[in-house]
Chains A and B, each alone.
Chain A
Amino acid sequence: MESLQNLIADASAKGQGQNAALISFAIYMLFVFALAWLAGRIRSKKEFVSEYFLGSRGLGVWAFALTFAATNASGGSFMGFPALIYTHGWVLALWIAGYMIVPLVTTGLLAKRLNQVSRKANAVTVPDILRARFGSASVGLVATSLLTFFMFFYLLAQFKGGSVILATLLEDLDFFQSAVTWVAGWKGNFFLTQSTEPDYLLCLMLFATTVIVYTTYGGFRAVVWTDVMQGLVMVIGVMVMLVLALSQVGGLSKATEQLAEMKPPQMGTITIQWKSSLTEKLSIQKGTWMHTDDLRIVRIANHVVIEPDTPTTPELEVLIQPDPGQKVKDKALNLSEWGRVNITSTLPYARGDGQKGVYVTPPGPSKNEDMGFLSLGMAFSFFVFWAFGGAGQPSNMVRQMAFTDSRVLKRSIVLVSVYYTAIYFPLIIIFCCARVILPGMEIEPDRIMPALARTLSENAGMPWLTGLIVAAPFAAVMSSVDSFLLMVSSGVVRDVYHHHLNPNASEKRVKWLTYIVTAVIGVAAVMAVLNPPQYLQNLIVFATGGLAGCFLMPMALALYWPGITRAGIIASMLGGCITHLVLYIAGYVIHQEFKVYSFLNIQPFLWDIIGSTFFALLVSKITKPLDASLIDRFFGKPKQLQRKD
């Protein structure tokens, strides 16, 4: 019996290198706080509102480009995207291809005019611009309400993402496990934390405290500076992984050849029938490989504890690995001495089951969809969504208000396009190689990034590299959370309090209120994710799609169409929002879960845009035009140039 316990413990033993991860993480945190402290020092010497929310419009090329790129590359780029590549193969190159043109469209379409109009209006937030452009407090309030509503959902998702990554980073450390035990001891005393997992709770506290403190203290400049550092960490992490992955897999050609030979795995269940009853509990770790009686290899999908005196185990969820390599065969447990391992059910992929080549050709294998992962129509939809959905994000618009001049914009567009090429294309190659290096990760695809980082570093004999590589996804989440936190707080303080409740508030009052509101929003978000909602990725899609639907067309029309009216811009924002909500409600009715309905199989974002544009045009045609003075202010030739004429 003891030998069986030992055998199973050996099979699930994890690698080394976690201390290195902790050291890298600690150094990284030190840098973050140092940058926030420096930014706070600079801010104290300048006018508060413009500096805190917009860094005094002083962003140069590197700052603008990297804060733009880092904010857009959220945790999804380093957790969800690698998981998709791993699960579906080379077809993800087509899925993400729109990013080749994202830097040009997201910055080129609106940035120059947005920056100019925000200067004319002395605006520091997106609602500020719209309020000034239409000379209407109502326009500003509608914009603030929509922005705060959707941003808060996004914030929740990122807080959870950051905590999960941190937990992955630290899970094998004795020090961390002691802290988790300590948290487990007191968390039951509080109503809100009773059902929260202790490791998740600890990481949520660590992550949230860090981000809330440095964002509250340092403001926009701290966010931008940490974004620059995080942007560099991301690209260095990706480059190191690329070199290690290609060298360990024997080159790209070999990786693609092996991928072409792979067939999708099946999910299923097994039972173990013991020859003699167990005398004590037996713990089998998630991820343990096992031989079955019919000479197949399976991987345990969940951690299981088997009670003594049970002749047969309950059904255990497993992944059935087709064509396992020699390494997996050697690693797999052989329990024939103690019992019989039988496969009791199998669940094949809806598309690609038993077929070679599906990982190297579109539409890619899929567990649930008969048509595969990505149809050609959806590929086109994503090409639209990445570019124009990005252009409609208020977090991007705020950055476009903050650069110094046109030359910074032009150079930044080039820099961001090189940066995205250096991040996204290598990620596809790395995680196609990951299928060869680390088979069986379908049981937990979201962990492929840290798992691969650890494997690559240990194989290369440099376990300390793990810390550097896994800092990349953490940096990505942080750089998104801080930006969104600041946007929500600026919406409340600047757009609601300063403009509507107390326009004569002193700078000192605004400053303290800003600190308090930023911290309160951060804490509120933490409370909301103590027991995180199940469909977190859906929340991200809901929030980003909603923001783009509500702000892309209204902002584009406000900047480029003199004929849009006050009622027209409000109708446009609400039209986008209503279309978005209707599609989600329809999705809920049809799918019985929080999922959007793709009417006519078209990306829902396109319907939001159509709704937003339709209402803008219709209402502007039948309502009172704007005063000539407002049109002249934002579309007329500047006074200095008129005098020269």
Chain B
Amino acid sequence: MMSKHPVGTDPVYQNSRRETFWILLIWAAFALWVVGVSGWLGFGHDPDTPVKTVFGFPAWVFWGVAIPWLGANIIIFYFASKVMKDDPLSDGAARDSSNQSS
């Protein structure tokens, strides 16, 4: 018989589930940015006009790939350092962490 009410809900499970939600959201945001901007500036480019460049990159690469790539690095740094929890992963570590917090 499956337990409807587990003895308690594992904090690592809860935190991981919350972090997964944010990761999927961040992924979706960058997917929209990259595909949207590259589609607009790159696929929409008129073949008879010269390609605009920014710092030597074609403009669609700069705004649609290079800048979001830089942004992804910043977001990943923020997410890893501020949003992800320092969860204890072994039972021994969970006990130590619990003792410290008390």
- Using a CB–CB cutoff of 8 Å, the interface residues on chain A facing chain B are 90-91, 93-94, 97-98, 100-101, 103-105, 108-109, 112-113, 115-116, 119-120, 251-257, 260, 355, 357, 360-363, 376, 379-380, 383-384, 387, 405-407, 409-411, 413-414, 417-418, 421, 425, 559-560, 562-563, 625-628, 631-632, 634-642, 644-645
CA distance A357 to B81 in the complex (A): 43
Q: Are B2 and A644 in contact (CB under 8 A)?
A: no
Chain A CB within 10 Å — which of B13, B45, B90 has the most? B13
Given A113-B12, A405-B89, A637-B11, 20 more A-B residue pairs with CB atoms under 8 Å apart are A93-B66, A97-B65, A100-B34, A112-B16, A253-B53, A355-B47, A357-B50, A360-B51, A362-B42, A376-B35, A376-B39, A379-B38, A380-B35, A406-B86, A414-B80, A632-B3, A637-B6, A637-B7, A637-B8, A640-B95
A560→B21 CA distance, assembly (Å): 12
> A611 CB to closest chain B CB, in angstroms?
20
- Give the residue name and chain of the B residue nearest to A416 (CB): B76
The complex places the Cα of A389 from the Cα of B6 at a distance, in Å, of: 32
Complex Cα distance A421/B67, Å? 12
Cα of A362 to Cα of B44 in the assembled complex, Å: 9
State which of A98, A104, A113 has its C-beta within 8 Å of the C-beta of B79. A104
Residues B102 and A631 in contact, CB atoms below 8 Å apart: no
The answer to whether B73 and A627 touch across the interface, beta carbons within 8 angstroms, is no
**CB contact between B2 and one of A100, A410, A563 (< 8 Å): that residue:** A563
A-facing mask of B65-92, CB < 8 A → 1, else 0?
1101100110011011100111111110
User: Per a CB cutoff under 8 Å, which of A108, A256, A383, A625 touches B19?
Assistant: A108
In the complex, what distance in Å separates the CA atom of A209 from the CA atom of B2? 51
User: Which residue of the partner chain, among B1, B16, B23, B86, contacts A104 with CB atoms under 8 Å?
Assistant: B23
Q: What residues of chain B lie closer than 8 Å to A560, measured between beta carbons?
A: 13, 16-17, 20
Are A94 and B34 in contact, with the CB atoms below 8 A? yes
Q: Of the candidates A101, A116, A627, which one forms a contact with B87 in the assembled complex, judged by CB atoms under 8 Å apart?
A: A116
Knowing A252-B57, A405-B89 are in contact, say whether A108-B20 is a contact too (CB < 8 A): yes
Question: Contact between A636 and B8 (Cβ–Cβ < 8 Å)?
Answer: yes
B12/A104 in contact, CB under 8 A: no
State A421–B66 Cα separation when bound (angstroms): 10
Query: Which listed residue (B56, B80, B88, B102) contacts A251, Cβ 8 A?
Result: B56
Q: A112-B19, A115-B89, A407-B86 are in contact. Are A94 and B76 (CB under 8 A)?
A: no
Asked if A361 and B76 make an inter-chain contact with CB atoms under 8 angstroms apart, the answer reads no
**Nearest 8 interchain pairs by C-beta:** A637-B8, A252-B56, A625-B2, A628-B3, A253-B56, A100-B72, A640-B95, A636-B7
Which of A97, A632, A645 is most buried by chain B, counting CB atoms within 10 A of its CB?
A97
The residue that A113 contacts in the complex, of B9, B16, B102, with Cβ under 8 A, is B16
Report the interface size for chain B: residues with CB under 8 A from the other chain: 63
Our pick among B64, B69, B95 for the contact of A425 (Cβ within 8 Å) is B69
A414 near B7 (CB under 8 angstroms)?
Answer: no
> Which residue of A360, A409, A635 contacts B9 across the interface (Cβ within 8 Å)?
A635
Set B1, B6, B8, B12: member contacting A562, Cβ < 8 A: B6
Q: A256 contacts which chain B residues (CB < 8 A)? A: 51, 53, 56-58
Asked whether B1 lies within 8 Å of A413 as measured between CB atoms, the reply is no
User: Which residues of B sit under 8 angstroms from A254, Cβ to Cβ?
Assistant: 56
- Cβ-neighbour of A642 out of B7, B31, B39, B89 (below 8 A): B7
Chain A residues near B30: list those with CB within 8 A: 100-101
Q: Which of B20, B73, B79, B84 contacts A418 (CB 8 A)?
A: B73
| CB of B19 to closest CB in A, whole Å | 6
A260's partner among B15, B51, B91, B94 (CB-CB below 8 A) is B51
Point out the residue from B7, B12, B84, B86 that lies within 8 Å of A632, measured CB to CB.
B7
**A104-B23, A105-B27 known; A113-B13 Cβ under 8 A:** yes
Say whether, besides A101-B27, A108-B23, A379 and B7 are in contact (CB < 8 Å). Answer: no
Query: What's the Cα separation between A262 and B89 when bound, in Å?
Result: 55
Q: Is the CB of A562 within 8 A of B91?
A: no
Contacts A116-B12, A253-B56, A376-B43; A103 near B17 (Cβ below 8 A)? no
Query: Do B69 and A100 touch across chains, with their CB atoms under 8 A apart?
Result: yes
**19 pairs, A vs B, C-beta closer than 8 Å:** A90-B57, A93-B61, A97-B38, A103-B76, A104-B79, A108-B23, A108-B79, A112-B84, A357-B47, A360-B51, A361-B42, A379-B34, A383-B34, A410-B86, A413-B84, A414-B81, A631-B3, A637-B9, A640-B91
| Distance A633 CA – B75 CA, assembled complex (angstroms) | 34
State the CA gap A69–B84 with chains docked (Å).
Answer: 21
User: Which of A104, A109, A417 is the most central at the interface, judged by chain B CB atoms within 10 Å of its CB?
Assistant: A104
Q: Are B1 and A100 in contact, CB atoms less than 8 angstroms apart?
A: no
Q: Contacts of B68 on A, CB cut-off 8 Å?
A: 97, 100
B2 → A minimal CB distance (Å): 3
Known: A414-B80, A628-B3. A109 touches B15 (CB 8 A): no
Q: Closest approach, in angstroms, between the C-beta of B54 and any C-beta of chain A?
A: 10
Are B31 and A384 in contact, with the CB atoms below 8 A?
A: yes
- CA–CA, A256 and B69, complex, Å: 20
Contacts of A252 in B (CB 8 A): 55-57
CA distance in complex: A363, B26 (Å): 26
Q: In the assembled complex, which residues on chain B have CB atoms less than 8 Å from the CB atom of A108?
A: 19-20, 23, 79, 84
B27 to chain A, nearest CB (A): 5
| Nearest A residue (CB) for B31 | A383
Determine whether the beta carbon of B89 is less than 8 Å from that of A357: no
Name the residue among A251, A560, A563 with the largest chain B CB count within 10 angstroms. A560
Give the complex CA separation of A100 and B74 in angstroms: 11
Tell me, in angstroms, the Cα distance from A7 to B56 when the chains sit together. Answer: 40
Residue of A108, A380, A418 with most partner-chain B CB within 10 A = A108
> Which residue of chain A is the closest to B73 with respect to CB atoms?
A417
Residues of A within 8 A of B69 (CB): 97, 100, 421, 425
Bound form: Cα–Cα A273–B23 in Å: 65
Beta-carbon contact of A638 and B94 below 8 Å: yes
The distance in angstroms between the C-alpha atoms of A479 and B80, with both chains bound, is 26
Known: A425-B69, A644-B98. A380 touches B10 (CB 8 A): no
Q: How far in angstroms is the closest Cβ of chain B from A421?
A: 6
A110 to B27 CA separation, bound complex (whole angstroms): 15
B98: which of A405, A425, A628, A641 is its contact (CB, 8 Å)?
A641
Do A640 and B8 form a contact, CB below 8 Å, given A104-B27, A108-B84, A362-B42? no
CA distance A644 to B85 in the complex (A): 20
Most buried by B among A109, A120, A634, A641: A641
Residue in A376, A635, A640 whose beta carbon sits within 8 Å of that of B6 in the complex: A635
**Contact (Cβ within 8 A) B2 A636:** no
Report chain B residues within 8 Å CB of A642: 7-8
Cβ-defined partner of A421 (8 Å) among B43, B51, B56, B73: B73
Say yes or no: B58 contacts A360, CB within 8 Å: yes
Please tell me if the beta carbons of A562 and B84 are within 8 angstroms of each other in the complex. no
